[in-house]
Amino acid sequence: MLSYKYIGKAVPTEIRNALDILIERFDLEYADTYRFSPLDDPQGMEEFEFISNHGCCGSFEHEVDDSTGRKWMVGCNYGH
């Protein structure tokens, strides 16, 4: 059973903002199915993949660093 560790306030604001910037930069229309996980968290990455596999239409994923240097994977689906 997935616990969805990285949703809402569990995701640092800087990481949520990084995805918003990427969505705008790459002009991803109708973005949804947002997903986030630190790359060093196997359970979080499992949940990230689960969410990714259950989205529809186009899929976008990108690696970003937070202010501490921790690497995160962020993503969404787009283009309905």
Domain ranges of the chain: 8-78
Question: Sorting pLDDT into bands at 50, 70 and 90, what band is 28?
Answer: very high
Average pLDDT over residues 7-31: 96
Tokens of 7: 């949703």
Average pLDDT over residues 5-10: 90
Average pLDDT over residues 54-65: 95
User: Is the pLDDT assigned to residue 21 strictly greater than 70?
Assistant: yes
Q: How far apart are CA 61 and CA 78, in angstroms?
A: 11
pTM above 0.85, yes or no: yes
Supply the pLDDT for residue 1. Answer: 61
Q: Report the chain's terminal Cα–Cα distance, integer Å.
A: 28
Average pLDDT over residues 47-76: 96
Structural contact between residues 71 and 36, judged by C-beta atoms closer than 8 angstroms: no
